[in-house]
Structure 1
């Protein structure tokens, strides 16, 4: 993929890079071979410069007006165009680099001697600074991936830091700092959010339909998110190839919804893919495309490729996916605490009754838990998290109360020393964490969006290496803003998956899709995949770097792996994250084509 780099001093750039501008704070771009669709838009006026790089659609006038925002340091306004892109500005005194709200356009920074470096891939910075792998940091991310204050700015490389989504990196000759550019949003009403989402999502689609992309393709699962995007694109006047995986391992009604939706839209050409044998997780595991950072979906690459290769074969130059829709539009379970805190007691009781039926628990217990959670501060939530980790992530029996922060199943496999190290970090964080319910609710939503962005960045890279350019309209900045401005409890509805989306797109998308109450599940492909590929997985874990460095207990991991291979429900998500982390480590150690950047000492 195309990537950018820059420095706080006049030094040589990465190998095969071309300079966007020079001077005291040079910026370079390393182009994507044979992929001319990458957009690099630039404008300058004297000592001030602005570059917008990625999938962005804006006029020359809009770009020129962007310089006015650079002069005023109004960075928020430079993130309101549709698409997914980086923004780089030179104010004449400093370089400012913006990532998007969720962070799927990542930015990293590090220091080499007296020079601050930045890049949109972490590996070049690791090469430039000779950074070692931070295995303990990797394990922390595996256990608490959405605890942004602990892991949000870290990477797998010691000394290489990530700029969180919604932040700007500022570099001068003497300093570098990271600051949020997004102002606090005032909560909106349901009706206001529906109008805002309709405008933002249709703008995101229209920008893509008027782009030079010759062939538009789409995931077309039959689920609400991907199917909606494909239908909106077709109804905006573009022909679309929608690709659906018909999987007999996971029978559900997704395929029926896909066929029904495709039949009603003449501009949508539908291709139903039914490979035999059915593709599973971990197929061709060792052939997974190499990514910049560990990618939790790396074990699913062959399954995705089994149907997405049809889009590549059709000549796709723009492929739509519904990534982000579930995160932004479905109500989290903790929305019950929002109801309690906001005094919506009758609505809380109705929601608690629905959850109680689903979880086979007394309604009173669910409601009481919601009120307790509403009174839980951030420091208290961190202490509850530490208590769960201290117990080894043991599964709760009987009641399973809601918590703001929950460790992943990897907590069950930590060695004593690794557990102590993580608990110490969480305890230190709890001593300085701000109190207050509101900050906790907003913090959780913000951290989950940013964690999803780190996942999507690697998914984009994986697909690009196979010749597929993914587009995720739900993660466009204005779409994200429209969704997160609505209080979480207003995303909740007893009879609709995503009530905000249903209200926003009524009349544009068939009601039969918007009012769908079911959702496809694909767990069987995971467990069957472990059984089919058990020898490859065991071989990978037998040489585990995280075990060798004393962080994970090999016997504990092997026990859960054996359960999964036998089809017995276990900590599957945790297994998948550890397997893919070990895969990334083995690939990185063997990699011969890491982006090179030789940085020599800078003379003052």
Structure 2
């Protein structure tokens, strides 16, 4: 599902006429003027339209209109007054409004419903996918954005919001687009995280209500299936969804490690659910790293490149069994896992914080002196970026062995980076630090949570774009707006202790999920699957090393990467940078194979006009 948004302006109308319209394309017009507003693939079931005399509100995605939506729309004085109404549409959706020549558009906090915008020919055009904007404007790759995408274990914010194509911008978390009658848009903030001060019981009540509503809306929309990995996240969603649809397909993957606990817990949960439990065999499914083709997707590196082949296999299986929308528990780790980044939030009461500090020291075996030194470090977000730049060449395993309480986990460049690649990444971090970006929250753990939610949402959006080719949308209800807001609201004191596993979710699921699953304190890990995938795909990975785009750009040493494939390290942590490297390489190959376009004049126009004010 891809669509373009045009302002209610004569130039926007002219640009709309130049857009390709393959079979199935729909066009929605602005009220009163009749100019093109939305153009794209808009399935009827994913589109809700409310019309008034001089206004029109549209939702695209999976949602449900509040009962008084039409009354609220009729009473609006201006699009800017629609914040309260827009927030009342649950689920996963864009909310778009055109009213008397003014336009507004917003997506979701997580970016599962994202907006991209470009200023072209004097007006601002938006889309839910950058690719139609790339085609419309002839945008070129932003080479300066590439090095940070190699960072491991994943790309940190704000680089995740940096579009890989010049002139195109992603709308940041909690902001929307507002167009005036000149056809130009400005970004307006509509959300900021709440203060994390609710006691556990209150935050759990809000979480339970938000998750139940997220599932209810999707169950009312279409036929569901769900992951049932055996972990708390997917098990919670499966029990919630089972209240609405009996006989769902519940999918689990056979693990490479025969001692994997999650398989046992998934089978046990399936016995208490009414669905059909489908365990997908490793022998029948593609291996990790089996599908490194970019498949023509231009947006940017795909974070789950390691399992793209498995996703296609799973989507085709689910489609053959009648599923239209698949629920995944992704987002649960991001929202509910206690990490050391909670500790700085507790240091205003050091004596009360002491048991928490001791617990994390016991888990990670940190020396006391380094722990105290790091806890006393106070730094701005920009200073944190500069410090990260100084640590990029340290071993990736170090970020767990040494206490780091900054604005995120310890980011590292791959050991196969060249000196030029390492220096380019450092320059990118220092350049961004010089712009003095402000964190998404003044609380480090909340900022890190929102960063990870944003990365998860971006990935789910792109996974769904991929699986929808097989007929099944991919959804992560745990990162719906209301669920994210509830997770940000809890007091750190109630969820920071590492001896409790996901306490907010466990409390929220009291009475909805049997206690044997809700209070489980173990979790499987999947390093065996990584080693098995590298062994199985070694010939293809070695062939890839023979002709690396990243090597041609001087960012990666192909020989050192080849050595990792031939002689896998004892620690699976060393494989983490491989995933980001393969993601960037796959994307660069897609870009390099793209047919040449006569875009010099268009690029000059983009450079001259710049971005949003």
| Alpha-carbon contact 2:147-2:424 (below 8 Å) kept | no
Q: What residue in structure 2 maps to residue 360 of structure 1?
A: 365
Q: Does 1:580 align with 2:586?
A: no
Question: What CA RMSD, in Å, does the superposition of the two structures yield over aligned residues?
Answer: 3.3
| Alpha-carbon contact 2:336-2:505 (below 8 Å) kept | yes
Q: TM-score, normalised by structure 2?
A: 0.86
Query: Quick one: structure 1 residues 287 and 52, their matched pair in 2 at CA, closer, same or farther if it must change by over 3 Å?
Result: closer
Query: Quick one: structure 1 residues 517 and 593, their matched pair in 2 at CA, closer, same or farther if it must change by over 3 Å?
Result: farther
Q: Does 1:547 align with 2:547?
A: no
Counterpart pick for 1:351 among 337, 342, 356: 356
| Alpha-carbon contact 1:107-1:162 (below 8 Å) kept | yes
* Offset, 1:335: 0.9
Q: Does 1:400 align with 2:402?
A: yes
Judge which range, 65-74 or 456-465, deviates more: 65-74
| Alpha-carbon contact 2:359-2:497 (below 8 Å) kept | no
Q: Does 1:83 align with 2:85?
A: no
Judge which range, 397-406 or 222-231, deviates more: 397-406
Query: Quick one: structure 1 residues 239 and 394, their matched pair in 2 at CA, closer, same or farther if it must change by over 3 Å?
Result: closer
Please show how residues 38-57 of structure 1 align to structure 2 within 5 Å: 38-57=45-64
**Separation in 2, partners of 1:71, 1:285:** 44
| Alpha-carbon contact 2:343-2:405 (below 8 Å) kept | no
**Separation in 1, partners of 2:259, 2:518:** 21
Judge which range, 492-501 or 328-337, deviates more: 492-501
Query: Quick one: structure 1 residues 65 and 142, their matched pair in 2 at CA, closer, same or farther if it must change by over 3 Å?
Result: farther
| Alpha-carbon contact 2:123-2:184 (below 8 Å) kept | no
Query: Quick one: structure 1 residues 277 and 49, their matched pair in 2 at CA, closer, same or farther if it must change by over 3 Å?
Result: closer
1:399-442 per-residue CA deviation (whole Å, 9 max, x = no partner) reads 51214245544354444444444433433443453789935454
Q: Does 1:500 align with 2:509?
A: no
| Alpha-carbon contact 2:177-2:185 (below 8 Å) kept | yes
| Alpha-carbon contact 1:369-1:401 (below 8 Å) kept | no
Aligned length: 587
Query: Quick one: structure 1 residues 385 and 577, their matched pair in 2 at CA, closer, same or farther if it must change by over 3 Å?
Result: same
* Offset, 1:507: 0.8
Query: Quick one: structure 1 residues 377 and 533, their matched pair in 2 at CA, closer, same or farther if it must change by over 3 Å?
Result: same
Q: Does 1:460 align with 2:468?
A: no
* Offset, 1:279: 4.9
| Alpha-carbon contact 1:143-1:407 (below 8 Å) kept | no
* Offset, 1:153: 3.5
**Separation in 2, partners of 1:516, 1:531:** 33
Judge which range, 580-589 or 503-512, deviates more: 580-589
* Offset, 1:314: 0.7
* Offset, 1:383: 2.5
Q: What residue in structure 2 maps to residue 314 of structure 1?
A: 321
Q: What residue in structure 2 maps to residue 29 of structure 1?
A: 39
1:345-376 per-residue CA deviation (whole Å, 9 max, x = no partner) reads 33x333333332332334x3475156224x33
Query: Structure 2 unaligned runs (5+)?
Result: 607-613
Q: TM-score, normalised by structure 1?
A: 0.88
Q: What residue in structure 1 maps to residue 303 of structure 2?
A: 296
Query: Structure 1 unaligned runs (5+)?
Result: none
Judge which range, 311-320 or 442-451, deviates more: 442-451
* Offset, 1:558: 3.3
Query: Quick one: structure 1 residues 29 and 325, their matched pair in 2 at CA, closer, same or farther if it must change by over 3 Å?
Result: farther
**Separation in 1, partners of 2:57, 2:242:** 34
| Alpha-carbon contact 1:332-1:488 (below 8 Å) kept | no
| Alpha-carbon contact 2:61-2:94 (below 8 Å) kept | yes
| Alpha-carbon contact 2:291-2:305 (below 8 Å) kept | no
Q: What residue in structure 1 maps to residue 72 of structure 2?
A: 65
**Separation in 1, partners of 2:298, 2:70:** 32
Query: Quick one: structure 1 residues 160 and 71, their matched pair in 2 at CA, closer, same or farther if it must change by over 3 Å?
Result: closer
Q: What residue in structure 1 maps to residue 610 of structure 2?
A: none
Query: Quick one: structure 1 residues 37 and 155, their matched pair in 2 at CA, closer, same or farther if it must change by over 3 Å?
Result: same
Q: Does 1:177 align with 2:196?
A: no
Counterpart pick for 2:442 among 434, 438, 442: 438
Q: What residue in structure 2 maps to residue 119 of structure 1?
A: 127
